[in-house]
């Protein structure tokens, strides 16, 4: 085998490959161009859809934001109205409580004065009762002493009478004789 055969066979195969490659290259480029156009068209459609969706989403977001702002404003107004109503009620309750407290403070003051007066009366009555009890006891002691003096005088008089001859009974008369 000759050496040129080693070179000729691969060169022939490369030439055949180049012919097929050249013919398919034009078709591949055409397909690739179509594919690029389809991709660009799809991308343009996707961009248009995306832009439309973004516009719709933006409009919806703005609408929701407006609704939320209106809702928040309404809630804030309701909350403020409720707060004002509660504050008015608290002020009214405070005024009523203050008036009631003043009334009760006056009653407490009056009752304290009355209690002090009653305590003083009780002390006075207790002192008077004690003085009367003391006078009664002294009167009883004096009476008892007087009774004791009377009994002593009675005893002294009785003793003097017994010792006195006038008070002695004469002896009984003799009994008459019996006949």
pLDDT in tens, 144-171: 999 999 999 999 988 887 777 666 677 7
Q: Percent of the chain having pLDDT more than 90?
A: 69
pLDDT in tens, 130-151: 999 999 999 999 999 999 999 9
Using 70 as the pLDDT threshold, list the residues of the chain that sit under it: 1, 165-168, 179
Claim: this prediction has a pTM higher than 0.95 = no
Secondary structure, 3-state, 162-177: HHCCCCCCCCCCCCCC
N- to C-terminal Cα separation, the chain: 230
Q: Percent of the chain having pLDDT more than 70?
A: 95
CA distance 122 to 128: 10
CA distance 68 to 80: 18
C-alpha 150: how far from its chain's center?
82
- SS3 category, 179: coil
Give me the half-sphere count of Cα atoms (radius 13 Å) on the Cβ side of residue 82. 6
Cβ 161 vs Cβ 167: under 8 Å: yes
Cβ 72 vs Cβ 64: under 8 Å: no
């Amino acid at each position: 085998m000759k050496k040129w055969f080693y070179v000729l066979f691969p060169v022939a195969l490369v030439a055949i490959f180049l012919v097929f490659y050249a013919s398919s290259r034009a078709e591949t480029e055409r397909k690739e161009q179509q594919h690029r156009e389809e991709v660009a068209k799809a991308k343009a459609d996707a961009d248009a859809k995306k832009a439309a969706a973004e516009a719709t989403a933006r409009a919806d977001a703005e609408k929701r934001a407006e609704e939320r702002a209106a809702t928040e404003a309404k809630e804030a107004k309701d909350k403020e109205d409720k707060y004002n109503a509660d504050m008015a009620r608290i002020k009214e309750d405070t005024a009523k409580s203050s008036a009631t407290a003043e009334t009760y403070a006056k009653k407490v003051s009056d009752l304290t004065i009355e209690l002090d007066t009653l305590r003083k009366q009780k002390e006075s009555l207790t002192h008077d009762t004690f003085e009367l009890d003391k006078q009664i006891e002294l009167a009883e002691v004096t009476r008892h002493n007087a009774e004791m003096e009377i009994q002593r005088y009675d005893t002294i008089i009785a003793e003097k009478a017994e010792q006195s001859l006038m008070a002695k009974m004469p002896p009984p008369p003799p009994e008459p004789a019996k006949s």
